[in-house]
Structure 1
Amino acid sequence: MKKAFITLILLIMHAIPALNAQQLSPTGICYVEVNNNNILNAGSYKLQTSGKYLFNVVNIFAANINYDTAKNRPYLYCNNNVTKVLTNADTYIKPLQAKGMKVVLTILGNHQGAGFCNFPSREAAKDFAQQLAQTVNTYGLDGIDFDDEYSDYGQNGTGQPNASSFVMLIQELKALLPNKMITFYYYGPAASRLSWNGLRVGDYVNYSWNAMYGTFSAPNVPPLTNAQISPAAVWMGNTSNATTTSLATQTKNGGYGVFMWYDLHGTNETSQLSAGTQTLYGEQTVLSTALQSWTAGTNCDAPIGLYTSNLTGTSAKLNWSAVGTNTYDVDYKPASATTWTSAATAINSTSVTISGLTANTEYDWRIRTNCSVKSTYIFAPRFNSGTGGTTPTGSSSLSLDGSTESGSAGSLNLSGSALSFEGWIKPSSFKSASPYISSVMGTEVSDSNSAFLRLGDANIANNKLQFVISINNVQQKLTATTALTANTWYHVAATYDGAAMKIYINGALDASKSQTGNVSSNGAFNVGYLYNTSRNFNGKVDEVRVWKRALSQTEISQNRCNVVFPATSLAAYWKFNEGSGSSVQDTSGNGVTLTLTGVDASNWGTDIPCPAGTQKVSANAKSQKATGLDQVTTKKQIRLYPNPVSQSSPLTISVPEEYNRGKLTIYNFNGRIAETKILQAGDHQYDLSKLSMGNYIIQFESQNADLKQTEKLIIK
C-alpha cells in the first residue's frame, strides 16, 4: 500500500467539513444534471423570510468512471458539459461557493465494466482515488459523491464486485482529501459492500441519501447518524407536491439532518420546493435571481493510454494515445508537492521526456487536450523516477554466458491464484536466431505446467520481456511495451493476481492484460534457463525473488533493491552476494538453494545495479542476519513495521541515525491527536493497547527539521 503523504494542516481538519454559516437543518442537498441545466440556478433559491439559500451542497451530475482497455485501468472521464463546468470554475463553481455552498462532483458508471466495487487490489483503488483527489484540487471542488449505477460489471474483461473494493477506495480517498466532503448515493452493489476486514465505508463518508425517488427509506451506512442521512428522495417535476410534503414531514419528525432534491431544472421550481420547505423550515421558497439557460459544452476528450517509460532516476518519458490531430499540455510534479511544472505546451506528439528529476522519488503527471476548448486534465498513474544506480544492495552479481551457464532451484510449486517474479538483469546481448528467446527465470515443464519470465519469442522482438503462465492447460502470454537495451541494468517484475497479468520495468507498470483462473506451475525452477540451453540468458543477474502473491506497484517500485521483512508469501530470494562458489543461498528462510551450472570465479563480479554501502541496517536487522532476514531502514526515512498491524502485536518504529531524535505525533482519522512522543534514533517498540482498532496518521518531525514524514497506520 502506498504511503499517504499529506501536510499537517490537512491532518488536523475535522472529518466532516463545516458548511456555510447559514446552514439549514436539515441540510439541503441538490443534484443538477449539467447535460441540460445551468448549475448556477442552484444559487437562485432562497427561503422567503430568513433569506437563507436553500441548498447547502450542490452536486455536479455527473462525471464517469470509464475503462482504458489498453492499460486495464479505470479512469475519470468528463463529458463535454462536465468539462465546461470544471474548466470554467470561475464562472460556474466559485459563484456558488461564494454563497456558502459546497460544490461536489458526482461519479457514475458508464457501461464499460469499471465501477467502485471491482478494483482488484488496493493499488488500483488508490490510483483512482488519486485521480479523484487531483481533480478536486485542480478545479477547486469541495468533494466527491459516489453513485454506483451503470457500471455493467464484467464488461471489457473486468471483474465482478468484490467485498474490499469500495471500502479501499473510500479509505484511500479520505486519506488524500481529509478536509473534503465524501458522500454516497445509496444504490447499487456498493450499498451492500460497506464493510471489509474491520473497515467501514461509513467511517470515511460524510453523508448518504436514499436513491429511490418518492420514497422514504433511511440508508444503512454504519456508523452514520440520523444527522448525516436523508431518507427522503425528491425528484423535481416527478415527485408530487403532496408526496414532497409527506417526505418533509417524515424527515422532520424522524430527526434526520439531510434532505435531498434531485434534478433541479432551469424552470421555476418554487412551487414544489415550497411544498417541502414550508414543513422543513416554516418558510416558502422564492427566486432571488433570474434563472439562467444552458448551452452545451464543446466535445474535447483528454487522451488515455497513459504510461511512463525510460526511467533513469533523473529523467522519464511520459506517453499517451493521440486524440485526433489535437495538441496537448503536459505537467508533472513530485507526489508530495502541490505546484505543477509544465513539461510541454501545445505539443503535437504522443510523448515527452522530462529531466531534472530526483532519483527514487514518486511523481505525478497530467495531460489535457487542446481543441477549440481545453479538455479536463486526466491524471496518469503515479510513477517512481527510478534508482539511477544509487539504491543500495549487496556487493556482487552473477554473469551468465547465454549457453552453458544457469541456476537450478529444484522443484518449486507456484500453482494457485497469484504469483510474482522480480529481479535485476543486465543483458549482454539478445538471441538473434529463432526462437529469439532469452530465459530469465521460472518453470516450463509443458504448455499446461509453466510460469516464467523471458525475453523474446518467435513473434515478438528479442529484447522485449514476455510473461507466461499456464491456465486451463493453455499458456497465457503478456508482452512488454518497452524494448530493453543491452548492457543496461533493469529491474524487471511480473505479477498475476487472479484478475490481470502485469509487467513492470524499473518499478513502472509497462504492460497488463485481464486474465482469470488458477496458474498450474509445479516443477523445476531455473534462473537463466528454460526448456533448452539454446534459450539461456546472456548477461548479469542480481536480487532474484519469487513470491506466491501479487506484489503491488508500490512494493515493486520501493523495494527493488531490498526486501522488508517479515515478507508475506516470499517463496525464494537469491541476493547473489556470495561473490564466489557454485550455489546461491535463499534468504527468504525457506531454504531454496540455487545450484549453479558451468560457473566459476570469473562469473562473479562487482558490477551491481544498486551500489552497496549507503544503506543503514537497524539493530534489529543485525540480530537477524544469521537467518537471512535482512531488515533494512531506508536512509532518511522512518519506518513502521508491520503495517497493517494487529492490536495485540507490537509496532516497531525505526528512526534513522541521521536524525538523532525527533517528535512523533499520532492522529486519528478525524485529525485529532492521539499521542505525541519524543524518539531517539534506533528501533522502538510501541504499545498499541492504548489505541483502538482503526486507521491513524503517524507524523515524524526531526529535531533538525530535515525530515517531516507522514505515514498511514492500520491497526486491525
Structure 2
Amino acid sequence: MKRVYQYAFVLLATAVAAAGCKNDEYDNRSPFDNVVYLDVAEADATQLTTFKKTLPTLERDFSVVMSYPASEDVQVTVEVEPALVADYNACNGTSWTMLDAAYYELAENTVTIPAGKTVSERLSLMLKNLDGSGNAAELPIDETYLLPVTIRSASGGVSLLGSSATAYYVVKRSSAITSAASLRDNWINFPTLDKAGPQSDLFNNLTAVTYEAIIRVDDFSKHSEISTIMGVENYLLLRIGDASFPRQQLQFDGTGDAAATPGFGKFPKKDESKLLNAGEWYHIAATYSYATREVCIYVNGKLQSRGTDLGNPASTPFNLAGRAFYDLYLQDPVKYEQYKGWGNFRQFFLGKSYDDTRQLNGDITEVRVWNVARTEQEIWENMYDVDPQTPGLIGYWKFDEGEGNVIHDWTGNGNDGVAEFDLEWPSGIEVPQLNKE
C-alpha cells in the first residue's frame, strides 16, 4: 500500500507542476480521487495545429480518459470555452485571439465512459472553411488563433484533472512547410528505380548532380556513427557522420564507380565548426559537376564547404538507378566479388544506407534530385518550394501527403517513394522560411 500511495502522490505532483498558473484546484484533493482528462492534453495541454494554406478542412479527435474504472456509466460534457483564452495568454505571455466559431465545429459535446471502462469513444473537432470555401471569409494566413476545448463536468462525483482537462489548440494556417515524415527506424524505397526502365533512366548517365532535402534530426547518436539523408551507398550518398568523422557533420560520399575511374571521394574533411544541432530544421544541399570538378555543400541556402579539382571528367557518369552501376562491376571480377553482397543496399534510398542501423532518426520533407549542379542563388531562392517542371529536376518528393506510406513524385515521372514501415507524420510542424525573413 505504501508503494501505491507514493506512486499516486508522484502522479499528483506531476499534474500540479504541469498545471502551471492553475494549481489551487489540487489543494484539497486526495490522490485517490477518480478524475477525468483529455488524452491529447495528458502530456501537454498545448496542441500545435499548423496546416498548409490550401487545406479547406482539418479534423482533430480526442477521447476522455478516467484514472480508474467506475461501477456505473460516467457522463462527461465537453465544450469549447472562449473565456479560457485570456487565462492561457496570461500564463504563457501570448496575445492570441479566439478562433471564430465559423471555423470550427465540435460534433458532440457529451460522451459516456461505460462502467468498468476508463476511455470514452473518440470525439471529433473539425476545423472548417479554412480556405474560404464555406460562408466564412478565408482564414488569414500566418495568423495564430487559440481554440480551448475543455471538460465542463463529469457525473458520479468524478473530478477534473486540472490543466489536463483542457486542450488548447493553437491554430495557424501557414505559408510555410507544415508536413514532414519521421524516418526514425524507417526509410523510403523507390521500386521504380530498383530496376532498369524509362523511369529509372532519368537517374542514370548523370554528369552533374544536386541533392536537396529539409531535415530535422532528433538524436545523432541513436544508431551507428552515420545518419543517412539520401543516395546510394558507397557511390553517391549524402549523410551525416562517418567512422572517425564528427557525427553531426555533413558528408557527401562520391566514391563513384570503383571499377572504372572513381568519383570525387568523401568530402569534406572533418571540421568541428560545421556541426549541425539536434532538433533544428535545416535545408541541406550537395552538388557535384564532372565538368567543373567542384563539389559544394550548402546549409540553409549558404555555402558551407567547397572542394575543387576533385574527381576526373573522364569518369563514368553517375548511375543512381536501374542497377546500371552494378553492371559496371562485371568489368572487374575482383571488384564484383567484393561488392556483390551489398546488392540490396546499392540502391537509391531516403534514410538508409548499407544496413538497417543508419536511419536519419528525424524528420524529412521537400526532397529533390537534379541532373544539374544548382547554384547557390538558385538553392537559396527555392529552398522551400520549386516549380516541379523546372529543367533539370528529375525527382521531387514534397512529403505533403500528411498520411499514408506513399510519397508522391511531383515531377510527374512516377518515381513514387514507399516507406519500409508505416510512416509517422508529426503534427504541428512549421519549417522556418529563412529566405523570407
TM-score by length of 2: 0.46
For CA contacts below 8 A with separation 6 or more, give which structure has more relative contact order. Answer: 2
> TM-score normalised to the size of structure 1?
0.29
- Larger C-alpha radius of gyration, 1 or 2? 1
